[in-house]
């Protein structure tokens, strides 16, 4: 199984601070994706990083991938109240229907 | 471009009743998926489809059936609903090319309660 485990389970910060979430997995992968879920809504894709990449940026998001440690991190800089959501990582392998396995996520709360 | 839509948004069933959840996507995606999400848990894959006329089992397929008669639609059926199927159901779709994996696009969810 390529299921990722997010850590911490919950994170509370003040607006303007940076938020870091981690993801660990157990098997070899081809890529890893991060998704955001606002309360009661569907998941929204944030970023995809491939196994031959070490770091990727998208706006205020920075994702790292360390395949030797089987871990990834998601950094959100200058957090805003609108970033309050659950964040999920999804490591996967190419093929096999592009199936994703999600962990329980990190619940981020950004307070004003 | 509506993306992924799900019908209905809410439904209450009695134990033993049947229903069908409809998922539709207008992005011409090959792959489609049905997940369920229970409180405090991540999404678990029920069934998926890699193309029109094909379906496959996911992690938790028991008690559900699916059909993909048209590329843009993926139906999830509950033949005899049980309280354990109370959940939020999400549909997703993704494209695929020879270069591999792409992101999944999710619908807004269907909140189902079985009493």
The 10s digit of each residue's pLDDT in B59-97 is 999 999 999 999 999 999 999 999 999 999 999 999 887
- Cβ distance of B101 and A98 shorter than 8 Å: yes
B27 interface with A at CB cutoff 8 Å: no
Alpha-carbon dihedral sign for residues B82, B85, B87, B89: negative
What pLDDT sits at residue A1? 56
Q: Please give the Cα distance from A67 to B104 (Å, whole number).
A: 22
Most confident among A27-41, B4-18, B98-112 (mean pLDDT)? B4-18
Shortest Cα–Cα distance, B1 to chain A (Å) = 16
Whether the per-residue pLDDT at A54 is higher than 70: the answer is yes
Record the tokens describing residue B68, joined without a space.
Answer: 């993909």
Q: How far apart are CA B101 and CA A66, in angstroms?
A: 19
Residues 6+ apart with CB under 8 A from B69: B52, B53, B75
| A3-7, A85-89, B78-82, B83-87: segment of lowest average pLDDT | A3-7
Contacts of B9 in chain A (CB under 8 A): none
Q: What is the mean predicted confidence (pLDDT) over B46-65? A: 96
Nearby residues of A45 by Cβ (< 8 Å), 6 or more positions away: A33, A34, A35, B103, B104, B105
Please report the number of interchain residue pairs, chain A to chain B, with beta-carbon separation below 8 angstroms: 60
B104 touches chain A (CB under 8 A): yes
Portion 55-94 of A in contact with B at CB < 8 A: 88, 92, 94
B94 and A33 within 8 Å at the Cβ level: the answer is: no
Q: Hey, is the C-beta of B92 within 8 angstroms of any chain A C-beta?
A: yes
B-chain CB neighbours of A95 within 8 Å are 100
Taking the CA atoms of residue A83, residue A88, residue A91 and residue A94 in that order, the dihedral angle to the nearest 10 degrees is -80
Distance from CA of A97 to the nearest CA of B (A): 6
Q: How far is B105 from chain A (nearest CA, A)?
A: 7
Contacts with A42 from chain B: Cβ below 8 Å: 4, 90, 92, 106-109
């Amino acid at each position: 199984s390529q299921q990722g485990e997010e850590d911490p389970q919950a994170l509370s910060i003040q607006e303007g601070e940076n938020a870091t979430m981690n993801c660990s997995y157990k098997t070899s992968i081809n890529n890893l994706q991060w998704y955001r879920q606002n309360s009661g809504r569907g998941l929204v894709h944030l970023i995809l990083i491939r196994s031959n990449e070490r770091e990727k940026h998208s706006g205020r998001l920075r994702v790292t991938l360390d395949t030797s440690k089987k871990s990834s991190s998601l950094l959100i800089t200058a957090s805003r109240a609108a970033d309050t959501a659950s964040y999920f990582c999804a490591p996967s392998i190419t093929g096999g229907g592009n199936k994703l396995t999600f962990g329980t996520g990190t619940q981020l709360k950004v307070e004003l | 471009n509506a993306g992924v839509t799900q019908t209905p948004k809410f439904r209450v069933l009695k134990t033993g009743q049947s229903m069908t959840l409809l998922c539709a996507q207008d992005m011409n995606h090959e792959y489609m998926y049905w997940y369920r999400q229970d409180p405090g848990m991540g999404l678990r894959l029920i069934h998926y489809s890699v193309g029109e006329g094909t379906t496959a089992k996911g992690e938790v397929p028991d008690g559900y059936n699916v059909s993909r008669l048209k590329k843009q639609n993926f139906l999830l059926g509950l033949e005899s609903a049980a309280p354990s199927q109370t959940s939020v159901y999400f549909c997703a779709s993704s494209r695929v090319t020879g270069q591999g994996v792409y992101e999944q696009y999710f619908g807004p969810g269907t909140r189902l309660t079985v009493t």
